[in-house]
Amino acid sequence: METTVFRTFFMGGFECSTHRLRSGRRLDVIGATAHDRFARQDYQRVASVGMRTARDGLRWHLIEPSPGNYDFSSVLPMLAAARDAHVEVIWDLLHYGWPDDLDIFSDGFVHRFAELARVFAELATRETNGPLWIVPVNEISFFAWAGGDVGILNPFARHRGDELKLQLVRATIAAIDSMRHVNPEVRIVHTEPMINVVPHSNRPHEAAAAERHHDAQYAALDMIAGRTHPELGGREDYLGVLGVNYYIHNQWVFPGGHGTTIEPSQPQYRPVWQMLGEVYDRYRRPLFIAETGIEDEARPAWLRYIGHEVRRAIREGMPVLGVCLYPVVNHPGWDDDRHCYNGLWDYADAKGEREIYDPLARELQSQQRLLEMAPDDTPTTSGPDTHLLDVAAHWMEIRSGREDILHK
């Protein structure tokens, strides 16, 4: 069992999506937030508030502008900035985007991705002080559903979700093998949405279908572990540390759609600590909340709730290694470029300064203090402000639409 821990329990995550939108425009959130220009200040900022672990990502389309030709100028300054700030980074190799010349369903995609993983592992091993943490493919389950089943994310396919999921697992396994060849000590992380799907009380005949939808969150990890589709070559040692991504829309009544989000005050809402327990019981691996956050004034209340749930999980004996505030800086919306107030810091000015959101900063300090206490000394804290979170869930559903139920 993996026994390593991150440098700090609380982490900051930089949104790093690079996928093509239906309009044809490529998203580049690292560029849109100026994190690439101000990585040094950004890493220093997260370290200054006690977060010396961060999530970040590569922009494959910039790194491999033509097949087999690598240009790491987009990431080398970030590696140096993180090293100098004494911040360890969990790097996403693939966060929804890939070079335009590649067909994601082709054998060439798997080969090219494994080569990207190999050359980056060589570079990052030289440029990093301490362990090298890698997420091969972010959110395989969501990616396969959104891009392969319902066509709301590139490659905009329909009814090919299982095919895309298998392909992404093949690429993940090939990448792990290639990285371990150059650095046997590379630390592997997988990030998947953690969801709860239940049948409608008036439609008990849908219980089996709801359960299948609920269990689909485990399909990719089961393949990586070799528990299903053994022809892919999965093994238990490929699992590493498991990161679960959890937002307020991650619980809904089957089959989903507008108005089916289970709000925190509702009896069908499942406590996060119990959901963490389900993941741990299935895989018996260390885990952490790899993405969590919400927008606007609900940000402190949401962190308070997640902290409350994580401490309960730890008291119940689960090896929860951390919580990542995601995103840690505000960013433009994927499809509409609206200013999403969901981070600890706002957009950067011309000098790289970012205004901090003080209520969330104060709550982070409070959660850090509570975590440092011995379990028996931790004061009893009240549960979440469910009314505020219910309102936030309602507005987030209106803003994002049910097509984005698992993300942003």
Strand 241-245 relative to strand 187-193: parallel, antiparallel, unpaired?
parallel
Q: Which helix (H) or strand (E) holds 135?
A: strand 133-137
What's the domain count of the chain? 1
Instruction: Give every CB contact of residue 272 below 8 A, 6+ residues apart in sequence.
Output: 246, 305, 306, 309, 310, 313
**pLDDT 10s digits, 24-71:** 999 999 999 999 999 999 999 999 999 999 999 999 999 999 999 999
pLDDT score recorded for residue 392: 75
DSSP letter string, 69-125? B--GGGTHHHHHHHHHTT-EEEEEEESS---TT--TTSHHHHHHHHHHHHHHHHHHH
Q: Which domain holds residue 68?
A: 10-404
User: Which CATH number fits the domain that encloses residue 237?
Assistant: 3.20.20.80
Q: Which residues partner with 13 through β-bridges? A: 55
pLDDT score recorded for residue 257: 85
For residue 319, tell me if it sits in a domain: yes
347-365 mean pLDDT = 98
**pLDDT 10s digits, 269-325:** 999 999 999 999 999 999 999 999 999 999 999 999 999 999 999 999 999 999 999
For residue 338, tell me if it sits in a domain: yes
**pLDDT 10s digits, 335-353:** 999 999 999 999 999 999 9
pLDDT score recorded for residue 408: 35
pLDDT band at 388 (very low <50, low <70, confident <90, very high): confident
Model pTM score: 0.94
**pLDDT 10s digits, 371-384:** 988 655 555 555 56
For residue 47, tell me if it sits in a domain: yes
For residue 300, tell me if it sits in a domain: yes
Question: Cα-Cα-Cα-Cα dihedral of 231, 232, 236, 238, to 10°?
Answer: 160
Secondary structure of residue 403 in the 3-state scheme: helix
For residue 2, tell me if it sits in a domain: no
pLDDT score recorded for residue 376: 54
As a residue count, the chain comes to 408
**Contact present, 178 and 115 (Cβ < 8 Å):** yes
**pLDDT 10s digits, 316-341:** 999 999 999 999 999 999 999 999 99
Interhelix angle 358-372/299-315, nearest 10 degrees: 10
Render the burial of 228-250: b for 16+ CB within 10 Å, e for the rest: bbeeeebeeebbbbbbbbbbbbb
**pLDDT 10s digits, 214-264:** 999 999 999 999 999 999 999 999 999 999 999 999 999 999 988 899 999
For residue 98, tell me if it sits in a domain: yes
For residue 212, tell me if it sits in a domain: yes
For residue 3, tell me if it sits in a domain: no
